[in-house]
Structure 1
């Protein structure tokens, strides 16, 4: 039998227990310090995050379709001059699963982030891979829901990896304004919720599709946006994307939407609105011009104007154009005829 413990005598705690307890304490302290450090870092980043404004310069992508066309066209030709001029303009890069699939999109964003550092600029991307994209029209395509979740998660990971770079995300142009024609607003809102949850992060400013001033009446557009349940989780709306409406009309529309939606912000696409709209024609209308440069205008509601739709890329197979998104030299020449 073992010896009985004498009353009043302290038991000796075995040394291994003391060592283990010390190690646990040290580890806990280190974890605590790391957590506090992370919180402080995130707080600093959040406080220092600066939304887009009129002084925002976005990346000029070196792998744009304009840049590729400039290298391929005959030197000195109008087509080459137009492509070269457009390739030098800060313009939003469109991420599509057809060009930047899930196993390549991370590298694409890393490259854009590297360009942003070199150019002291902001990354501006349009995410365009929604299931039933464009409701089967000229830009039909997109991913199935599971693939879309994976693709946008990869995009979000890449954006968060570029924590030192400011990011603008134009999320799924036409997705909300076109929904009444597709009968799919509830489904689309769910896909957009997935994308927002996957993409959002510090210094990442997300703008949902807000149509334009000649599409839906402002009260109707506000109801569509409100019904998504996402307006509290994004910076605001993107207006006039791939369209031609006058900048002044879009500013007025942005202010009306902001009043109805509790102060939401906006960005406006001015890439091809230099000659205004051509009536109700939206698909490759003739006689259009590039508009004011990215970062030209803004106010308390409109964060800034941006070139979102790359000038020179077709709207679709209409009015003599090639398939949607394909480089169209004749359009590039026409759009830049007063700028080059």
Structure 2
């Protein structure tokens, strides 16, 4: 993907667990009291994941309402009302994991967390970086696990980390360490009694199951709850499902989840093929997050990538992970 998993959010968790529900109120008070809240929880049976009331999309809805722009506010609500992945940052992993999981627990929901801090991340592309070394990464994962505690969480582990071992993007000298770090991360996170872990397995466009199953096994997928596909990418759900099932058959029938956040119109085929994943125009939101997929092998459709956050400074976008309201509006308008 060469950077397409770059939607790591700038997280704003004040005190652990102190996340307040926004009511969408403006200074007009009484005028706005009958308007819909900024976010709402979907029926738990359909979607067990927590909706962050203080996410970028919710803040954008509130801003549009304050300006009297109800039309665009309702468009962005398509994003704000859905649970999206909370990408844990490098500096305060324990506090962030604790804050998100405590807030989710208060709402009787599961937190959806994304861990994206592997050393030599993203092969020097838009989201280059990650932990300084293996020891730093192990300590970071340990803090994330400590922050989760015994609360319910679903973790998407290291988007692209296995894929970039297969596509020759990550230098060979780092391969053994990465396998060891991923396997160790799975084992550490699974010590938490209510944590599900899905090891990322790339997407249908960059590799075939035959190229991925052995690396996934070496990375510890057997100890995980399954794997994730299509994170931050655009392949249709049917294509991703077929890809996931072929891969599942090679890794012991493991279940998987699909990122449907931006796949409503499928992949972009214009422009430079090397960057057609990066802020492509004309895309749309995909299926809403749900645990009711109608397929025994597919545990959930998730919005792992946070719709409206940039893939990188390409096609006029801000740097990776920053909120881009114009792009968010485009995704929402493209949704049928």
- The structure richer in helix per residue is 1
The question of 1:210 aligning with 2:206 is answered no
The match for 1:96 is: 89
The question of 1:194 aligning with 2:184 is answered yes
The match for 1:31 is: none
The match for 1:157 is: 146
Indicate conservation of the 8 Å contact 1:91/1:307, yes or no: yes
The question of 1:260 aligning with 2:255 is answered no
**Long gaps (5+) in structure 1:** 1-52
Q: SS of 2:333's equivalent? A: coil
The match for 2:267 is: 277
Distance 2:136 2:61 in 1: 34
Moved more, 320-329 or 61-70: 61-70
Indicate conservation of the 8 Å contact 2:264/2:335, yes or no: no
The match for 1:322 is: 318
The match for 1:288 is: 283
Distance 2:68 2:260 in 1: 27
Distance 2:45 2:264 in 1: 18
> TM-score, normalization: structure 2?
0.77
The question of 1:299 aligning with 2:295 is answered yes
The question of 1:140 aligning with 2:128 is answered yes
Query: Looking at CA atoms only, which structure, 1 or 2, has the larger radius of gyration?
Result: 1
**Long gaps (5+) in structure 2:** 1-43
Distance 1:126 1:255 in 2: 22
User: 1:8-49: CA deviations, max 9, x gaps?
Assistant: xxxxxxxxxxxxxxxxxxxxxxxxxxxxxxxxxxxxxxxxxx
User: 1:26-82: CA deviations, max 9, x gaps?
Assistant: xxxxxxxxxxxxxxxxxxxxxxxxxxx984421111332223334445633365544
Distance 2:120 2:302 in 1: 26
**What is the 5 A alignment of 1:36-51?**
none
> TM-score, normalization: structure 1?
0.76
Indicate conservation of the 8 Å contact 1:134/1:140, yes or no: yes
Indicate conservation of the 8 Å contact 1:130/1:172, yes or no: yes
The question of 1:176 aligning with 2:166 is answered no
Aligned alpha-carbon RMSD (Å)? 2.1
Indicate conservation of the 8 Å contact 1:54/1:305, yes or no: no
User: 1:266-311: CA deviations, max 9, x gaps?
Assistant: 0000000011111352111110000111115242211111111000
